Amino acid sequence: MPEFLLLAATVILLMVAVGLVRILRGPADVDRLMAVQLLGTGGIAALLLLGIATSLPGAVDVALVLALLAAFAAVIFVTSLDSP
């Protein structure tokens, strides 16, 4: 089972990495933001998979904190659009 979970984590990481092409290409800044958002979710998923596969202590806690802060960058982006 751990092998399968590790494989899934690797695949998700690689896929999200491909999605990062959006950061490169843009064209708009919101597109870049979306790529980071996807990376955040994928990163959380990979972290959970890795954490459970290799039973790392604290991995789920780190995922919890990442999930809590997931909206943070986007909120700052949007509020600075409204009031520079």
The distance of closest approach from Cβ of residue 44 to another protein in the complex, given in angstroms and rounded to an integer, is: 6
Interface size with another protein, residues (CB under 8 A): 82
Alpha carbon 2 to its chain's center: 21
| Residues of this chain, 37-56, that bind another protein according to CB under 8 A | 37-56
Give the whole-angstrom CA distance, residue 44 versus residue 12: 10
Give the whole-angstrom CA distance, residue 70 versus residue 64: 10
The distance of closest approach from Cβ of residue 48 to another protein in the complex, given in angstroms and rounded to an integer, is: 6
| Residues of this chain, 11-30, that bind another protein according to CB under 8 A | 11-24, 26-30
